[in-house]
Structure 1
Amino acid sequence: MLKLAVTGAGGFLGWHVRVLLRAMGWPQPVVLGRGDLTDPGVLAAKLAGVDRVLHLAGVNRGEPADVAAGNVQLAAQLADGLKHCADPPARLVYANSVQAGNGTPYGDAKAEAARVLADTGVGFDDVLLPNLYGEHGRPYYNSAVATFCRLLAEGGRPEVHADRELSLVHVTDAAARLVGVPAGGSWDQAMPALRIGVQALADRLTDMAVTYRTGEIPSLPDRHDVRLFNTYRSHCFPAHYPLALPRRADDRGELVETVKAHGGAGQTFCSTTHPGITRGEHFHLAKVERFVVLRGSAEISLRRVDDAEVLRFPVSGDEPVLIDMPTMWAHKLVNTGSDELVTMFWTNELFDPDRPDTWPEPVEAAVRAVPMTASA
């Protein structure tokens, strides 16, 4: 495994790179902040022993002159630091854009930044990224997907004023391409793209949101549908949970509809858990997973990967509720009662022991959170 250094580690793409590294069991990357880039000596010292540098930091919004100058300046600072390294990294990977050289201040600045970085003498990989979407993107900033998801999560509806075709890549696939991780997980470094019109995208996300409003799972026929749904769910969590389940009773007993999945996909299983025992302590990159306690009492705890705050939900079989585990959040379930706990679990895919998409991560871990920034 490689030792990486990352600029823009606190941004949207940077966080997903760090999550992927955590899933792969690679070392935490060296984080290169804006302050480090201003001092070539400090930067060279932080790059000692690093195998690969990922340059993700950039300026995407602002006055045209500031956008142009900012992207070139960041590249020049990084290049200067690399030239001060006694033993520079073997490879520099640049998160460039398909807009590079398109005649706009942003596109031309990205192209110029690539030229600056290519002149460092370090092996250079210029990766042209299309529109990225995924969990916890910033609305009105990272992508139309994030904006539409936030509007829908808050009860609004997307409005499309100018329709055009988009080429969308899930951010974990882009992270896999930049890091160079081997195939075999839920990622694809070939970066398969979803080509879709803006209006069709708004309609697809709206249909998902309407279906999910009562806890029903929308039809998820392909990997982009799953990832769009996970992106929408990231904007719902934690405010929409737990979600109460309707109970029906007659003289025979009670019935609770725990999962209604359109399209019929998925796998359901039940487990018993002894008092004081914990299940979970892992996260998923793509899997949709639902917990419903049917008997006994428990606490469901979750923490977003590389964040410190732990969210806790006390649940009981006396009043069944559903909590869907958001992707890239470590989670666990603890039997807090004195009797055996009965829990129903549902996932959107059949369990594959060769590709389980289950990555060990303690919920109560002490982490060094990297602040989210506006970096690319």
Structure 2
Amino acid sequence: MKLAMTGAGGFLGWHTRALLHSLGEPVVHPFAVGDRFDARLAEEAVSGSDRLVLIAGVNRGTDDEVHAGNVLFAEQAARVVRAAEVAPASIVFANSTQVGNGSTYGVAKEAAARIIRDAAVDVGARFVDVHLPNLFGEHGRPFYNAVTATFCHLLSRGETPSVDVDRELSLLHAQHAAEALVGIDGAEDVLARATTTTVSKLLATLSRFASAYSKGDVPVLASDFERDLFNTYRSFAFEASHVIPLTQNTDARGSFTEVIRSHGGSGQTSFSTTAPGVTRGQHYHRRKMERFTVVAGTAEIRLRRLFSDEVVTVTVDGTAPCSVDMPTFWAHSITNTGDDLLFTMFWSNEIFDPEAPDTIPEIV
């Protein structure tokens, strides 16, 4: 499948690319809109595509900037659709549930959708209009357009967020939005997968997560929504600190170290031995939390966020126990750097299911 995309470098674009990567789909063909628009490159990306996904939009700025920006992006995309040597089979527009509420952003998105729909009709492409609510997910941008990202950023750094205006929120994990954009879910299924809460309840839930996780504990995760929200929080906590320190209690008999306290739900504990110089892992997870704890030997744990070249390396030693949690959508590995066997304990928040292992190969 050839898939062209605008907004590939943004929050939702990153999650959509991550979803496609996990499915083994080919590389996305991105093209820029706005000031960096290049008609020739855009036409190469779009021509012959099975699906054109339009994510790029403007949701911050003056009223004129928001309206003009969204209309410009749509006009540029429409121009490419009409000029492409082979028109895309489907055109998917990442719209907003704010359409119809009278806001500048809602009016702009409605106008942009109309422009794209007209172009799709002209070339005989199927048009899919996906109305998305408030999105959250790993590596959102704080202090921009997502209150969840702002709360997670502040809480993970020991600060106390406040609620200026409490209101109802419809929240959808970015992976579910991506599933609708690439056609795994229908556009009409999006709101059914969203969770309704309020700003104050969201903050209370994230504060509970932060309180437990600051001690290395895993809070009660009562639903898939809370699991996704906790993984979102963990993505910010990992930025603040890569290591979870453990307390080792020693006496004449030896030592005792508590590794994890799970406040509820399923979990699975295992351990491995690794020969000197051998590397394990080289994969990532979309939903699963995994904790590594070296209990004997020395090792390097290496982690890399999808589509990034930057590698985080954590050196661990069984004589000074600590744990490292694997963030979702980060490829990770562990290598025995010592001369003896490496003993590593693993904990996951879900029991392994060979039919749905959530383990996607990726070299760090």
Same fold (TM over 0.5): yes
Kept after mapping to 2: 8 A contact 1:174/1:191: no
Please state how far the C-alpha of 1:38 moved relative to its aligned partner.
3.6
1:98 matched residue in structure 2: 97
Task: Output one character per residue of 1:251-272: Cα deviation in whole Å (capped at 9) or x when no partner.
Answer: 2221110111111531110111
Provide the residue aligned with 1:270 in structure 2: 271
CA-CA distance at 1:181 after TM superposition: 3.0
Cα deviation for residue 142 of structure 1 reads 3.3
What per-residue deviation string (whole Å, max 9, x for no partner) do you get for residues 189-233 of structure 1?
676111111111101100110111010111112111111111111
- 1:9 is matched with 8
Counterpart position of 2:254: 253
- d(CA) in 2 for partners of 1:264 and 1:177? 28
| Partner of residue 227, structure 1 | 228
1:239 positional shift: 2.9
| TM-superposed deviation, 1:298 | 0.4
Partner of 2:159: 156
Label 1:296 to 1:99 Cα distance change in 2 as closer, same or farther (>3 A).
same
* Amino acid paired to 2:139: H
Matched with 1:366 is: none
Is 1:165–1:196's contact at 8 Å kept on the other side of the alignment? yes
Query: Does the Cα contact within 8 Å between 1:300 and 1:331 map onto a contact in 2?
Result: yes
2:153 paired with 1:146: no
Equivalent of residue 166 in structure 1, options 130, 149, 169: 169
Structure 2 CA distance for aligned equivalents of residues 167 and 216 of structure 1: 28
Secondary structure (helix, strand or coil) at the match of 2:154 reads: helix
Runs of at least 5 residues in structure 1 that lack an aligned partner in the other structure? 364-376
Q: What residue number does 2:71 align with? A: 72
Higher mean Cα deviation, 236-245 or 141-150? Answer: 236-245
Inter-partner Cα distance in structure 2 for 1:259 and 1:113: 49
Q: What is the CA–CA distance in structure 2 between the aligned matches of 1:279 and 1:361, rounded to whole Å?
A: 12
Partner of 2:110: 111
Q: For 1:127-151, what per-residue CA distance to the aligned partner results, in whole angstroms no more than 9, with x for missing partners?
A: 0000000000001213111010011
Q: TM-score, normalised by structure 2?
A: 0.95
The equivalent of 1:298 in structure 2 is: 299
CA distance in 2, matches of 1:148, 1:190: 23
Residue 330 of structure 1: SS of its match in structure 2? strand
Corresponding residue for 1:46? 45
> How far did 1:180 drift?
1.3
> 2:318 maps to which residue?
317
1:60 aligns with 2:59: yes
Separation (CA, whole Å) in 2 of partners of 1:311 and 1:142 = 28
The answer to whether the aligner puts 1:327 opposite 2:328 as a matched pair is yes
Q: How far did residue 102 of structure 1 move? A: 1.9
Query: SS where residue 119 of structure 1 aligns?
Result: helix
Report the AA paired with residue 242 of structure 2: Y
CA RMSD of superposed structures (Å): 1.6
Structure 1 residues 135-144 or 125-134, which shifts more?
Answer: 135-144
Against the structure 1 CA distance between its residues 191 and 312, is the aligned structure 2 distance closer, same or farther, given a 3 Å change threshold? farther
Q: Distance in 2 between matches of 1:353 and 1:281?
A: 18
What are the Cα deviations for residues 279-329 of structure 1, in whole angstroms up to 9, with x where unaligned?
100010110110000000000000000001001001010101010000000
Per-residue deviation, 1:45: 2.4
Tell me how far apart the structure 2 counterparts of residues 92 and 264 of structure 1 sit (CA, whole Å). 41
Counterpart-to-counterpart distance in 2, 1:256 and 1:292: 11
1 or 2 for the larger relative contact order (CA 8 Å, sep ≥6)?
1
Q: Is the 8 A contact 1:283 1:361 kept in 2?
A: yes
**C-alpha separation in 2, matches of 1:72 and 1:36:** 13
Contact 2:170 2:197 in 1 (8 A): yes
Q: Does 1:135 align with 2:138?
A: yes
Q: Which runs of 5 or more residues in structure 2 are unaligned?
A: none
Equivalent residue for 1:286? 287
Query: SS of 2:240's equivalent?
Result: coil
Q: Distance in 1 between matches of 2:253 and 2:163?
A: 51
Q: Distance in 2 between matches of 1:73 and 1:264?
A: 48
Aligned to 1:367: none
CA separation of 1:37 and 1:313: change in aligned 2, threshold 3 A: closer
| Secondary structure of residue in 2 paired with 1:53 | strand
C-alpha contact 1:267 1:347 (8 A) present in aligned 2: yes
What is the distance in 2 between the residues matched to 1:327 and 1:109? 34
- State the number of aligned residues: 358
> TM-score under structure 1 normalisation?
0.92
Q: Deviations over 1:231-258 (max 9, x none)?
A: 1111111431212100112222211101
Q: CA 1:229–1:147 in 2, change beyond 3 Å: closer, same or farther?
A: same
The question of whether the paired residues in 2 share the 8 Å contact of 1:287 and 1:348 is answered with: yes
